[in-house]
Amino acid sequence: MRVSEAAAEFLAHLTQVRRLSPATVRAYRSDLADLAAATGDAELAAVDLEALRDWLWRATQRGDARSTLARRTAAVRSFFAWAVEAGFAPVDPALRLVTPKRGRTLPAVASADAMRVLLDEARDAALDGDPIRLRDSAILELLYGSGMRVSELCGLAVDDIDLDRGTARVVGKGDKERVVPFGAPARDAVAAYLRRARPVLVARAQRSGPSLFLGARGGALGPRAVYELVARVLAPVIGAETVGPHALRHSAATHLLDGGADLRAVQEILGHASLGTTQIYTHVSAERLAASYRLAHPRA
């Protein structure tokens, strides 16, 4: 069996059996397609450790980021482990393949004061009753108030929101469901959107579905529109050229820890499988604390 044929079987396994997210499957598909091209779509048995090392070396020569190299290493190790178990390959050449070390980059985070100004401006802009401005205010409040992912936000149905309890039921990575809390400002913004804006947007569509957030024509709102919204309002605040909804998630997590929230509670809210993923925000909090010390202390 050739690399491309085995890769197709493996990707079906990831989707149907392991139920990985579409984004992860797309990344693995890209990585394995690149491997197939680099090896001339060789037979699996002909791919050895040196071939895999050469493949990664070529990626470094192209200037691929360390995070990309680490992901590709993980993809090929998972692929060959599966191939051996499935009987498609006699040995696992990726067992001794070393994962390149990732460089740690801290996420971009807005200050709590900056977020307060940004959200207040979005709320005030919606006072004229414009349905899109009401929707945008609710989106920004909910993303920051709950720390949910943009895919989780776009997947919300109206029935997933409990305004009385201030909670949302979201489906995260690996189709794992969790309930996330949000505060009074988000609750008020979502309530105003449901009462005054969503019915207007529904009326613009020939058919309306259960999606909570709708586009200007009444269809379900997609991640791209949310990215554009967040980039427009948040990039000037953070001072970065490219910024997306994840920056609101990063900011929410950091501000929770700054306020004394337990790390494991933040892990549950964000839906991280590993506590190690959540710990990156402790580094952000520590650096912010150090920066404040340097600015304020006369002997810093």
Of 214, 215, 229, the residue nearest 158 (C-alpha): 214
Q: Quick one: 77 exposed, middle or buried, by C-beta within 10 A (0-12, 13-18, 19+)?
A: middle
* Distance separating alpha carbons of residues 261 and 100, to the nearest angstrom: 33
Residue 247 backbone phi and psi in degrees, to 5: -65, -35
DSSP annotation string for 105-168: -PPP---HHHHHHHHHHHHHHGGG--HHHHHHHHHHHHHHHH---HHHHHT-BGGGEETTTTEE
Helix (H, G, I), strand (E, B) or coil at 292: helix
Quick one: pLDDT at residue 295?
A: 61
* Distance separating alpha carbons of residues 124 and 227, to the nearest angstrom: 21
* Distance separating alpha carbons of residues 78 and 112, to the nearest angstrom: 41
**Strand 177-181 with 161-162, pairing:** unpaired
Question: Which positions are annotated as active-site residues?
Answer: 149, 173, 246, 249, 272, 281
Residue pair 153/186 in contact by the 8 Å Cβ criterion: no
Q: What is the pLDDT along the chain (300 residues), one digit of tens a residue?
A: 899 999 999 999 999 998 888 888 999 999 999 999 999 999 988 999 888 988 988 888 787 877 788 889 999 999 999 999 999 999 999 988 876 655 555 567 888 899 999 999 999 999 999 999 999 999 999 999 999 999 999 999 999 999 999 999 999 887 889 999 999 999 999 999 999 999 999 999 877 789 999 999 999 999 999 999 998 998 888 766 667 888 899 899 889 888 888 888 888 888 888 787 777 777 656 555 555 546 655 654
Name the DSSP class of 143. H
